[in-house]
């Protein structure tokens, strides 16, 4: 009888222990499943520029590395990133409204990986201009999305940042307003630009540069406003240096020239010297007063919502649009 009671006690004790263990395993499995469900509920998959990325449903923990295109999109959305690129150790004035208190993460083309790591970002917005090796290094820190520098991707770029941050209404509003403003501008400018040539130039390191058809302000001039595409633009590859003598062969009716002191540190008088050059003075656009210098901020990339909106607004104030 005693033996039976001892057996019963030990049996029940063992059974109880087994039940506890089974319940623990069940809770563990349940907890793991719940964690997976929770993780899935807090993330989403987005498609951008031919690739898929798993990202948070919404985040403000974004570091922008090397992409002034993404910085300009942040301006449109009034979004302040965790970290951002600098020029000469400081944030360009164009980004002053979104960089107060923001951590500088190195120069535009030379990011500081250690600084970026310390910020613990959810997302890094880099640039398609970066070498693949740079983007791979960044991807070891956080999900890295190389933002396109091609002007025709401006809507996708803005929508990308809007989807990441949840600031979708502002993005939709900006795109709609630009398209409406463009439609009005085309009614007035299409006849003025018909049969005329227009070229957007940038002075960098004291030299003249043109861009291929889908870069810089070119889509605004050609695709949006309908100006004919000059042969030097249709033949250009990416950013291309051009001599003044060769440019004079095109002799455009309208010139849109961008000059930033930050990009001409060793040639601060490059613009001044260009204006004095006899070849420059002989151009049709110069003679007729149709050279528009820094119509928008000289560091504006050209192919972003911010650049396109401000370029069009500024263009509407010129004599090309007003006739005065």
Q: Decide: 178 and 309 in contact? Cβ < 8 Å.
A: yes
Q: Which two tokens stand for residue 3?
A: 């033996």
Q: Where in the chain is the domain with CATH 3.40.50.1980?
A: 47-166, 189-322
Q: Decide: 72 and 81 in contact? Cβ < 8 Å.
A: no
Q: Which two tokens stand for residue 175?
A: 């795109």
Other CB atoms within 10 A of residue 117 CB: 15
Tell me yes or no: is domain 189-322 CATH 3.40.50.720. no
* Cα–Cα distance measured from residue 118 to residue 132, given in angstroms and rounded to the nearest whole number: 22
Determine the average pLDDT of the residues in 282-298.
Answer: 97
- What global pTM score does this model have? 0.85
Say which CATH class 47-166 falls into: alpha beta
Residue 107: what pLDDT? 96
Q: Which two tokens stand for residue 201?
A: 């130039």
Beta strands per DSSP E along the chain:
43-48, 51-56, 62-64, 83-86, 103-107, 110-111, 123-127, 143-147, 198-204, 207-211, 239-241, 254-259, 291-293
3-state helix, strand, coil in the chain (%, to 5): 50, 20, 30
Other CB atoms within 10 A of residue 313 CB: 14
pLDDT above 90: residue 40: no
Percent of the chain with pLDDT strictly greater than 70: 87
Judged by DSSP in three states, 90 sits in: strand
What average pLDDT does the structure give for the chain?
91
The least confident of 7-16, 35-44, 102-111, 269-278 is 7-16
């Amino acid at each position: 009888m005693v033996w039976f009671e001892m057996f019963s006690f030990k049996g029940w004790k063992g059974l109880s222990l087994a039940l506890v263990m089974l319940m623990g395993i069940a809770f563990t499995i349940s907890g793991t499943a719940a964690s997976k469900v929770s993780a899935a509920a807090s993330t989403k998959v987005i498609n951008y520029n031919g690739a898929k990325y798993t990202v948070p449903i919404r985040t403000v923990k974004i570091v922008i590395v090397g992409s002034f295109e993404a910085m300009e999109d942040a301006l449109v959305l009034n979004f302040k990133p965790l970290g951002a690129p600098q020029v000469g150790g400081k944030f360009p004035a164009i980004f002053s409204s979104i960089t107060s208190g923001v951590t500088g993460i190195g120069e535009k083309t030379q990011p500081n990986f250690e600084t970026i790591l310390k910020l613990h970002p959810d997302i890094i917005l880099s640039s398609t201009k970066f070498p693949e090796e740079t983007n791979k290094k960044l991807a070891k820190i956080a999900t890295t999305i190389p933002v396109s520098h091609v002007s025709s991707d401006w809507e996708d770029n803005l929508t990308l940042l809007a989807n990441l941050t949840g600031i979708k209404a502002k993005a939709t509003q900006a795109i709609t307003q630009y398209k409406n403003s463009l439609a009005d501008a085309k009614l007035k400018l299409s006849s003025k630009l018909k049969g005329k040539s227009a070229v957007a130039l940038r002075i960098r390191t004291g030299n003249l540069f043109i861009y291929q058809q889908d870069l810089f302000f070119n889509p605004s001039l050609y695709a949006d406003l309908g100006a004919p595409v000059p042969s030097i633009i249709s033949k250009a590859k990416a950013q291309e240096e051009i001599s003044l003598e060769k440019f004079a062969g095109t002799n455009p009716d309208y010139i849109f020239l961008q000059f930033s002191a930050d990009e001409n540190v060793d040639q601060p008088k490059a613009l001044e010297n260009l204006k004095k050059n006899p070849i420059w003075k002989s151009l049709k656009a110069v003679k007729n007063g149709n050279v528009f210098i820094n119509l928008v901020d000289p560091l504006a990339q050209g192919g972003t919502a911010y650049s396109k909106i401000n370029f069009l607004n500024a263009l509407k104030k010129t004599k090309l649009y007003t006739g005065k």
